[in-house]
């Protein structure tokens, strides 16, 4: 809901529990007024009447107060917008007007042929912001940087910054530290979102999991990006974020051309980190994730079971076992196409390997479907092995610098999706694949970062960083439109491409190549700060863990860990004993029963994994599910009861596992005993409001 003051210079956006306000001064300075609890237009007017802080030599009265600091003029903060023409650099903009369309507010500015629009849209309590820049003039304009937004926090002492950092097989780990003067930047200069940081930050001063103010910002962009959190000399804090890692040039805009930034979303919550997460989850379920109301099926993925060594008979044997334990979707991972018998060859040649699948994939797909499951395949369309028919035919289709070595990672190169011929080739191949085989699910992988991002012959080669992402999005959009029943998974060597941008085009994400059930608890704890369980894929794999660390863990522990998200199975089922298969079947059945609550319910992180025992609660329509884990018991001490959250204190709840009936008040205040003991123990507790 957008409210506008009579003078048309103060705007107030309101969500269910929050407000956001901004004001344009008589000198066309666009100032931030408020982001926090609900206020009225009159309150916003009072805030707008307060004068800018007094002048001091060497300081700008605008710094720290502007909605979108451009480069040039009396400013010293990091500019959100930086442009260069043949004559000059920087922006001196004048206000042109505003308009609203539904929930969206658009403020229009102009500077000598350059049209700049700032966009605001409230989705629940999430404010979506983005910017548009159009060259309406006669000369060319180089867009050096165009951040999506700058967020301004209220004056407080002792800000802390939380981030989700990591690396391959160790993504999404939560780290919190005091913010100090200067600037902290996180981002990716790799061409994809990256395993190193999720594009999310949260700022608080004294919040806990369930109480206190938390400001969060998350970027919807799947290429290189940067979020800069600055504490200015007067202690004010601003957060600026957008596409691209540095300011060396995004695009060259010819007359008539324009750029639209990705969305940089912001959320204020006074419900602590848990409240903030639940608001982010609700926002994504309602506005970002396609078809979020449909629960995700239990899948089997062949990667850890068979790696590159696959055949139709062996996959069919796995499929029979998978069907027996209740799997609903069978996904053949890498190794089914071209000469892909290892990671040295075949990427780019998207036709079934004739030795392995002499009649194509259809016979296997039919067998899988005959077993009552859906059928999925793995692809990595943006890549090519030099040892492939595609590369032999088109060595110029990859990103490369003229006359320089082409850097290989995992023996592969990155295709230049900015080229229309490459885009068209990929569309044709994927279209042929999906139209010739009954495929219900596509796992879309991306297994190396950009290094030699050159484009010989192109006058402005660095545009490929931006164009690649737009091409990827366009390809996914086109495929989704042509095959609306096919679901897509975003994978990048695990969690290397997880952000709100890819989330709006895919149905779930591969959280991490780390399938160790204990490590996963910390990774999942981090990922759920921003993303809901509904997209967080997790597989039960073999014990000892083959992928990473050889850790031995029970099937119980592995299942309960993976049941915290979208359950999958990735072990070599042909080697599981009859008892293990029978137990797996019971866990899959249990998961299907609790799935609506896990995937659609409100998520409460009851106890973080760092302490050795941890628990997560999901609640939906009076149904409550608690998953609890114990790493190692010490001194025979009983594991403390977990206090539940979000219950009605006056209602009674029955625990299905123990038969106990307890009041909401007791469960909230004293908690629920989990009965965990020993090492690597885990449990599922279901409660129902009676």
DSSP 642: B
Least distance from C-beta 50 to ligand DGJ, angstroms? 52
Closer to ligand DGJ by CB, 213 or 333: give it. 333
Count of residues that bind ligand DGJ according to CB under 6 A: 11
Q: Pick the binder of ligand DGJ from 68, 93, 510, 604 (CB under 6 A).
A: 510
> Is 383 an interacting residue with respect to ligand DGJ (CB under 6 A)?
no
Tell me the per-residue interface mask from 333 to 352 with ligand DGJ, x by CB under 6 A, - otherwise: xx------------------
Stretches 12-20, 44-52, 68-76, 489-497: which one binds ligand DGJ (CB under 6 A)? 489-497
Residue nearest to ligand DGJ (CB): 334
Q: Does 378 bind ligand DGJ (CB under 6 A)?
A: yes
Whether 445 is catalytic is yes
Which is closer to ligand DGJ, CB of 440 or CB of 513?
A: 513
Q: Which of 171, 328, 349, 445 binds ligand DGJ (CB under 6 A)?
A: 445
- Taking contact as CB under 6 A, which single stretch among the options 7-15, 266-274, 456-464, 486-494 is the one that binds ligand DGJ? 486-494
For the chain, the first-to-last Cα distance in angstroms comes to: 38
Decide whether 128 or 334 has the Cβ nearer to ligand DGJ. 334
544 cis-preceded (ω within 30 degrees of 0): yes
Question: How near is the Cβ of 332 to ligand DGJ at its closest, in Å?
Answer: 10
Minimum Å gap between C-beta 412 and ligand DGJ is: 10
Q: What gap in Å lies between CA 87 and CA 141, rounded to an integer? A: 10
Phi, psi of 681 (to 5 degrees): -100, 160
Distance CA(337)–CA(314), nearest Å, equals 16
Cβ 345 to ligand DGJ shortest distance, Å:
13
Does 653 engage in binding with ligand DGJ (CB under 6 A)?
no
State in angstroms the smallest separation of the CB of 410 from ligand DGJ.
8
Nearer to ligand DGJ, 120 or 378 (CB): 378
Options 111, 147, 334, 513, the catalytic residue: 513
Q: What is the distance between the alpha carbons of residues 64 and 642, in angstroms, rounded to a whole number?
A: 43
The active-site residue, picked from 111, 445, 507, 516, is 445
User: Of 494, 501, 601, 664, which lies in the binding site for ligand DGJ, with binding defined by CB under 6 A?
Assistant: 494
Q: Which of residues 216-275 bind ligand DGJ (CB under 6 A)?
A: none
Q: What is the Cα Rg of the chain in Å?
A: 26
Give the nearer residue to ligand DGJ in terms of CB position, either 205 or 411: 411
Cβ 80 vs Cβ 147: under 8 Å: yes
Which of the residues 670 through 689 are near ligand DGJ (CB under 6 A)?
A: none
Min. distance of Cβ 293 from ligand DGJ in angstroms? 27
Instruction: Work out whether 513 is an interface residue with ligand DGJ (CB under 6 A).
Output: yes
Of 262, 454, 461, 493, the one binding ligand DGJ (CB under 6 A) is 493
90-149 residues in contact with ligand DGJ (CB under 6 A) are: none
> How many C-beta atoms surround the C-beta of residue 437 within 10 A?
18
Which one, of 360, 293, 375, lies nearest residue 327 by Cα? 375
Rule CB under 6 A: choose which of 447, 511, 528, 617 binds ligand DGJ: 447
**In the complex, what is the shortest distance from the CB of residue 496 to ligand DGJ, in angstroms, rounded to a whole number?**
8
Minimal distance, residue 447 CB to ligand DGJ, in Å: 5
- Interface stretch with ligand DGJ, choices 84-92, 367-375, 490-498, 681-689 (CB under 6 A): 490-498
214 contacts 228 by C-beta, under 8 angstroms:
no
Closest among 278, 151, 261 to 215, alpha carbons compared:
151
Report in angstroms how near the CB of residue 544 gets to ligand DGJ at its nearest. 19
DSSP tag of 409: B
User: Considering the rule CB under 6 A, would residue 564 count as an interface residue with ligand DGJ?
Assistant: no
Q: Which residues pair with 13 in a beta bridge?
A: 2, 20
d(CA 345, CA 340): 5
Asked if 425 touches ligand DGJ (CB under 6 A), the answer is no
User: With binding defined as CB under 6 A, does residue 491 bind ligand DGJ?
Assistant: yes
Nearer to ligand DGJ, 66 or 304 (CB): 304
Shortest Cβ 491–ligand DGJ spacing (Å): 5
Question: Which is nearer to ligand DGJ, 135 or 447 (by Cβ)?
Answer: 447
Give the CA distances from residue 515 to residues 179, 520, 541, in Å, rounded to whole numbers and listed in that order.
Answer: 33, 7, 7
Nearer to ligand DGJ, 336 or 653 (CB): 336
Q: How many CB atoms lie within 10 A of CB 189?
A: 17
Residue ranges with strand state E in 293-384? 299-301, 329-332, 374-379, 383-384
Phi-psi region of 348 (alpha: psi -120 to 50; beta: other; left: phi over 0): left
> 3-state DSSP helix/strand/coil percent for the chain, to nearest 5?
25, 35, 45
Q: Which positions from 279 through 338 interact with ligand DGJ, judged by CB under 6 A?
A: 303, 333-334
Q: Whose Cβ is closer to ligand DGJ: residue 277's or residue 306's?
A: 306
Q: Quick one: DSSP state of residue 362?
A: H
List the structure tokens of 129: 């912001």
CA distances (Å), 357 to each of 304, 335, 346, 432, in order?
20, 11, 15, 16
The span from the CA of 518 to the CA of 512, in Å, is: 13
Q: Are 275 and 265 in contact (CB under 8 A)?
A: no
d(CA 42, CA 592): 51
Dihedral angle at the C-alpha atoms of 194, 198, 200, 206, nearest 10 degrees?
-140
Please state, in angstroms and rounded to a whole number, the distance separating the CA atoms of residues 78 and 150.
10
Measured from the CB atom, is 276 or 318 closer to ligand DGJ? 318
In the bound complex, what is the minimum distance in angstroms from residue 546's beta carbon to ligand DGJ?
Answer: 13
Distances (CA, A) of 102 to 105, 282, 299: 8, 20, 39
Beta strands in 244-370 (DSSP E): 251-253, 258-260, 264-269, 299-301, 329-332
Closer CB to ligand DGJ, 408 or 657, in the complex: 408
Taking residue 668's Cβ as centre, other Cβ atoms within 10 Å add up to 16
Give the residues lining the site for ligand DGJ (CB under 6 A).
303, 333-334, 378, 445, 447, 491, 493-494, 510, 513
Catalytically active residues, by annotation: 445, 513
């Amino acid at each position: 809901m957008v409210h506008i003051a009579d003078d048309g210079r103060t705007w107030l956006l309101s969500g269910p529990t929050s407000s956001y306000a901004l004001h344009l001064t008589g000198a066309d300075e666009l100032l931030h007024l408020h982001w926090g609890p609900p206020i009225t237009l009159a309150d916003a007017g009072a805030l707008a009447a307060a004068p800018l802080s007094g002048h001091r030599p060497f300081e700008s009265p605008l710094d720290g107060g502007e909605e979108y600091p451009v480069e040039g003029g009396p400013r010293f903060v990091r500019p959100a917008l930086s442009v260069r023409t043949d004559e000059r650099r920087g922006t001196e903009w004048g206000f042109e007007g505003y308009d609203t369309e539904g929930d969206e507010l658009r403020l229009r500015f102009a500077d000598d042929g350059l049209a700049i629009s700032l966009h605001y849209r409230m989705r629940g309590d999430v404010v979506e912001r983005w910017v548009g820049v159009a060259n309406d003039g006669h000369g060319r304009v180089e867009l050096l940087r165009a951040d999506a937004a700058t967020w301004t926090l209220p004056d407080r002492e002792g800000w802390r910054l939380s981030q989700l950092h990591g690396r391959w097989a160790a993504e999404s780990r939560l780290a919190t530290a005091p913010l100090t003067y200067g600037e902290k930047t996180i981002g990716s200069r790799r061409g994809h979102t990256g395993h190193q940081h999720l594009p999310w930050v949260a700022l608080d001063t004294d919040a806990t999991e369930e109480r206190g103010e938390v400001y969060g910002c998350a970027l919807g962009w799947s290429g290189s990006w940067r979020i800069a959190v600055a504490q200015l000399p007067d202690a004010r804090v601003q957060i600026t974020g957008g596409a691209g890692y540095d300011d060396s040039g995004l695009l060259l805009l010819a007359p008539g051309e324009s750029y639209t930034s990705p969305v940089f979303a912001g959320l204020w919550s006074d419900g602590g980190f848990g409240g903030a997460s639940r608001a982010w989850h609700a926002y994504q379920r309602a506005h970002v994730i396609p078809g979020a109301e449909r629960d995700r099926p239990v899948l089997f993925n062949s990667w850890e079971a068979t790696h590159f060594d696959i055949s139709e008979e062996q996959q069919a044997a796995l499929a029979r076992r998978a069907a027996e334990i209740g799997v609903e979707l069978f996904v053949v991972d890498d190794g089914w196409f071209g000469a892909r018998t290892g990671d040295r060859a075949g990427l780019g040649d998207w036709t079934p390997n004739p030795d392995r699948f002499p009649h194509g994939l259809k016979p296997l797909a039919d067998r899988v479907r005959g077993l009552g499951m859906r059928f999925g395949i793995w692809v990595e369309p943006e890549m090519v092995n030099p040892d492939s028919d595609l590369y032999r035919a088109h060595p110029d289709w990859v990103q490369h610098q003229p006359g320089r070595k082409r850097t290989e990672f995992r023996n592969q190169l990155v295709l230049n999706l900015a080229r229309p011929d490459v885009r068209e080739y990929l569309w044709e191949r994927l279209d042929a694949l999906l139209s010739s085989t009954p495929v219900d699910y596509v796992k879309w992988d991306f297994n190396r970062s950009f290094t030699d991002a050159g484009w010989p012959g192109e006058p402005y080669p660095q545009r490929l960083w931006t164009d690649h992402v737009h091409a990827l999005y366009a390809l996914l959009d086109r495929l989704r439109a042509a095959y609306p029943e096919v679901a897509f998974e975003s994978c990048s060597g695990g969690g290397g491409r997880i952000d709100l941008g890819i989330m709006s085009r895919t149905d779930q994400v591969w959280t991490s190549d780390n399938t160790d059930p204990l490590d996963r608890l910390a990774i999942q704890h981090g990922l759920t700060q921003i993303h809901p369980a509904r997209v967080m894929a997790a597989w039960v794999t073999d014990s000892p863990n083959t992928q990473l660390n050889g850790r031995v863990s029970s099937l119980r522990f592995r299942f309960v860990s993976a049941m915290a998200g979208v359950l999958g199975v990735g072990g070599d089922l042909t080697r599981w004993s009859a008892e293990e298969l029978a137990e797996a079947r019971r866990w899959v059945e249990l998961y299907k029963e609790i799935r609506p609550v896990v995937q659609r319910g409100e998520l409460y992180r009851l106890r973080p994994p760092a302490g050795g025992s941890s628990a997560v609660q999901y609640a939906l329509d009076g149904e409550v599910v608690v998953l609890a884990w114990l790493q190692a018991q010490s001194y025979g001490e009983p594991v403390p009861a977990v206090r539940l959250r979000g219950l009605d204190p006056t209602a009674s709840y029955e625990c299905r596992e123990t038969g106990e009936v307890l009041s909401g008040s007791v469960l909230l205040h004293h908690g629920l005993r989990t009965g965990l003991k020993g090492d690597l123990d885990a449990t599922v507790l279901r409660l129902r409001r009676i």
